């Protein structure tokens, strides 16, 4: 073979090697398709209905999506109520002795047919909403039912996250906030009782972190790792106490929440005033006043709060909180 032929053979080999290497390089640069997130529950839409149509979010449609055994003709649900994954619709409150502070539990009321009043929807996008379907109410004003992050897709409604929520339903508002790298559901609502001049209202905020694709009911742990309280923050509280002098002491508490990526700051204030029932026209005397700030942090290991509430620190034994 001539030298020209040898050089030509080597050149051919190098061309083949270069082509293989180039092909391998192209392979590595090929785009990778993201995995499809499967829906926890799914409900197909009629073929002629558009995703942005308001009819997609009708209460009857959402009840059927989230609650097993819902009958749209009667509004009733089968017992015991279960969500769309077959999970019982239950909420585990801390038992007496589990936490430093335990709120009085309400008595469950009989199940009633579901109406528009039992559906709470908050829009995040045109095709994505937070939905709370109330199944049961309680004597203390709380309500219970599945809560879900629902997306409208070209094929139908898809449940992306699901849990069971227990909160105050009146004028309820739902929102998702990212705190400590974790998505947290915040639900603020109120309960009212009494009539006319004696009417009272109390607003609270329930916190539920999103763990995977589940909204989870967790408690707030103190610096020692023990449960301090349920993740339910009261924005107002009132209590009264009879004093040995036969005067009345009234405790009035308020708080405000500020949400930031590093945590939730709770600014608290409490005032204790004494008054003489025999002289109702006389202004009450300020006995004590205090304010403080708490920090709630959320992590992969749970939710923590740095200190107890000024309510538990300053309200004296023997005082009675005003509740429905």
Are 169 and 143 in contact by the 8 Å Cβ rule? The answer is yes
Average pLDDT over every residue of 73-84: 96
**In this structure, how many other beta carbons lie within 10 angstroms of the beta carbon of residue 188?**
18
Average pLDDT over every residue of 299-322: 96
| Prediction pTM value | 0.86
Adjacent-strand bridge partners of 112: none
Q: Is the pLDDT of residue 318 over 50?
A: yes
Q: To the nearest whole number, what is the mean pLDDT of the chain?
A: 88
Q: What is the DSSP letter of 196?
A: G
Q: What is the pLDDT at residue 105?
A: 86
pLDDT band of residue 185 (cuts 50, 70, 90) is very high
Beta strands in the chain (DSSP E): 41-44, 119-125, 128-133, 136-137, 143-152, 156-167, 170-179, 182-193, 200-211, 214-215, 219-221, 227-230, 232-234, 236-242, 248-260, 263-275, 285-299, 302-305, 320-321
Least trusted range by pLDDT, from 90-94, 183-187, 242-246:
90-94
Question: What is the β-pairing status of strands 156-167 and 214-215?
Answer: parallel
pLDDT digits (tens, 9 = 90+) for 91-113: 988 988 899 998 888 999 999 99
* pLDDT higher at 195 or 71: 71
pLDDT band of residue 197 (cuts 50, 70, 90) is confident
* pLDDT higher at 138 or 34: 138
pLDDT digits (tens, 9 = 90+) for 4-29: 443 344 333 433 334 333 444 444 44
List the one residue out of 13, 1, 10, 323 whose CA is nearest residue 168: 323
Tell me the torsion sign for CA atoms 303, 214, 122, 232: negative
Q: What is the pLDDT at residue 324?
A: 83
């Amino acid at each position: 073979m001539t030298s020209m032929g040898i050089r030509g053979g080597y050149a051919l080999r190098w061309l083949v090697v270069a082509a293989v290497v180039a092909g391998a390089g192209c392979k590595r640069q090929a785009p990778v398709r993201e995995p499809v997130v499967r829906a926890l529950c799914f409900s197909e839409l009629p073929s002629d209905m558009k995703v942005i149509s308001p009819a997609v979010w009708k209460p009857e449609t959402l009840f059927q999506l989230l609650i097993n055994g819902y009958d749209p003709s009667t509004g009733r649900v089968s017992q015991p109520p279960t969500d769309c994954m077959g999970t019982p619709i239950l909420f585990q409150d801390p038992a007496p002795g589990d936490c430093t502070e335990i709120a009085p539990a309400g008595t469950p009321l009989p199940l009633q047919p579901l109406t528009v009043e039992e559906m709470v929807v908050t829009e995040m996008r045109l095709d994505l909403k937070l939905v709370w379907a109330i199944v049961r109410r309680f004597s203390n004003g709380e309500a219970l039912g599945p809560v879900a992050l629902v997306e409208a897709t070209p094929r139908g409604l898809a449940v992306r996250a699901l849990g069971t929520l227990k909160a105050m339903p009146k004028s309820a508002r739902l929102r998702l906030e990212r705190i400590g790298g974790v998505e947290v559901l915040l639900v603020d609502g109120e309960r009212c009782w009494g009539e006319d001049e004696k009417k009272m209202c109390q607003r609270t905020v329930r916190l539920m972190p999103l763990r995977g694709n589940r909204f989870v009911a967790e408690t707030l742990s103190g610096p020692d790792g023990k449960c301090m309280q349920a993740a339910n923050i009261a924005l107002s509280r009132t209590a009264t106490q009879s004093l040995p002098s036969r005067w009345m002491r009234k405790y009035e508490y308020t708080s405000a929440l500020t949400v930031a990526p590093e945590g939730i700051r709770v600014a608290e204030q409490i005032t204790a005033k004494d008054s003489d029932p025999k002289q109702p026209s006389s202004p009450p005397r300020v006995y004590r006043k205090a304010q403080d700030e708490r920090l709630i942090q959320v992590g992969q290991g749970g939710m923590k709060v740095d200190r107890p509430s000024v309510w538990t620190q300053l309200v004296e034994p023997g005082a009675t909180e005003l509740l429905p």
